[in-house]
Amino acid sequence: MEARVADDGGLMLAWAGGSAAAFDELYARHKGTLYRFLLRSVSDRATADELFQDTWSRVVVARDRYRPDAKFTTWLLQIAHNLAVDHFRRQRPQAGAEETEAVFAAQMAPERDQPEQALTDFEQRRRMQRAIESLPDDQRATFVLRMENDLSVDEIAVVTGVGRETAKSRLRYAMARVRDQLTASP
C-alpha cells in the first residue's frame, strides 16, 4: 500500500487535469478500505453507501484544490470521518468521555479475569465484529483507521482532528475493549 500511495498525489493532479483513467486508478486503490472504514464505523450498509458516495462527491468538488503535500489517504479518510461524525450527530448524541469511560470500566473489570478460550475462526470474527460495533464512535473510528487503513497514531490524530495523545489513548482503550470482547465467555 505504501508504495502505491506515493503516486496518489500525481493521480489526483492528473485527474484534475482531465484524465479519467487517473480517477479510475485512484478509485480502485481506495474504494475498498474507504468503504470498510465507513461500513464498520456506521454498521449499516445503506448509510455506509450514502457516506461513501458523499465522500467521493466531496473529493470531486475539491479536486482542484488538492495539493500533493497532503497525503491523499489521510485527506480522503478525513472527509469520510467528518461525514460519519456528522451522521452520528444527526442520529444520536455523541457519548461523552465520562460515559465512555464508565461503560468501559464496567465491562472490562470482570472480563479481565476470564480464562482465554479457544474460539473457532468464525466465532472470533463474529466477536470482533460485535466488539467493533460496541465501541464508542470515536474509539471505533480510531480502531478501524488503525486496523483497516494502517494509519499511524499521528495520521489518526490528523484524520480525527485530535491531538496525538488523545488518538493514542483512544486506540489503547479500543484495543483493550476489543481484546476483552474476544476473550469473554459466550
Partner 1 sequence: MNPNTPPPSDDELPDERELAAIYGRLPKDEPDAGLDARVRALAVPRSNGRRRTRWPIALGSAAALVLAAAAAWQLRDAQAPLPVADHEAAPVEALRERAAPAPSMAPAAPAAGPLATPAPAPPPPPAPPAAITAEAAKPSAHAESRSAAKVAPQVMHTKSAPSPQADEAIAGFAPVSELAPDDRVGEIRRLLGSGQRDLALRRLRDLRERYPRYDLPQDLRDLGP
Please check whether residue 155 is in contact with residue 74, taking contact to mean a CB–CB distance below 8 angstroms.
yes
Nearer to partner 1 by Cβ, of 71 and 179: the residue is 179
Residues 6+ apart with CB under 8 A from 76: 30, 34, 55, 59
Please give the single-letter amino acid code of residue 26: L
Which of 7, 25, 44, 49 is in the footprint of partner 1 by CB under 8 A? 49
Number of H helices, E strands in the chain: 10, 0
Strand, coil or helix: 89: helix
Of 16-24, 65-73, 80-88, 105-113, the segment contacting partner 1 by CB under 8 A is 16-24
C-alpha to C-alpha distance for 143 and 156, rounded to whole angstroms: 9
Residues 6+ apart with CB under 8 A from 173: 100, 104, 139
Residues 6+ apart with CB under 8 A from 106: none
Of 5-13, 46-54, 69-77, 99-107, the segment contacting partner 1 by CB under 8 A is 46-54
Of 48-56, 88-96, 98-106, 107-115, the segment contacting partner 1 by CB under 8 A is 48-56
Under rule CB under 8 A, residue 184 binds partner 1: no
Q: How far is the CB of 153 from partner 1 (least distance, A)?
A: 5
Q: How far is the CB of 118 from partner 1 (least distance, A)?
A: 13
Under rule CB under 8 A, residue 60 binds partner 1: yes
Which of 8, 137, 138, 148 is in the footprint of partner 1 by CB under 8 A? 148
Interface with partner 1: number of residues (CB under 8 A): 35
**Using CB under 8 A as the criterion, what x/- string covers residues 99-138 for binding partner 1?**
----------------------x--xx--xx---------
Please check whether residue 117 is in contact with residue 152, taking contact to mean a CB–CB distance below 8 angstroms.
no
